[in-house]
Amino acid sequence: MSELPDDRGLLLARTPWWRNWKVMLPLWCAIGGMVWLGLHFNIDRSVIAASVVAVGLISNAFVWLLGIIALVPVIGPLIVKVLSIGFIWLLNALGYLVSYIAIRRGYSKDVLTYRGLTIALVIGIVIGFVLGRLV
């Protein structure tokens, strides 16, 4: 962090741009606007998702958003912990891979059942985690 003198001669620390809300809030508004425009003009959803991920990772926008969520008392830090559990990410990635293979082979009805069970499992894990932390 660089330091800047104020009018009284004291040194004030300047926050980096990725922690400054004056930069990140307009960035998130721009991301939301671009997603809306992309959906409005029927741009491929995978292109929109890839752009959001690229911009979010380059600018640390996801970390800033998680920091904002963590500011909510009691439930905020729990949500951030649950979102950062690697098992949830691994389970979701495996589900997408299996879904892709199953749809290609013609088992689309089974995929819907499987994804429903996966979502129910993830919701159950999240509820159990939150209740376990609160009790």
pLDDT digits (tens, 9 = 90+) for 31-67: 999 999 999 999 999 899 999 989 988 888 888 888 8
**52 and 12 assigned to the same domain:** yes
The reported pTM is 0.54
Sign of the CA dihedral with 90 first, then 96, 102, and 104 last = negative
- Domains identified in the chain, total number: 2
Determine the number of helices (DSSP H) and then strands (DSSP E) in the chain: 6, 2
**20 and 65 assigned to the same domain:** yes
Which pair of tokens denotes residue 113?
Answer: 């059942």
State the chain's mean pLDDT as an integer: 82
* pLDDT exceeds 70 at position 3: no
**6 and 67 assigned to the same domain:** yes
Quote the domain boundaries for residue 11: 1-71
**62 and 12 assigned to the same domain:** yes
* pLDDT exceeds 90 at position 84: no
Distance of CA 96 to the CA centre of its chain: 17
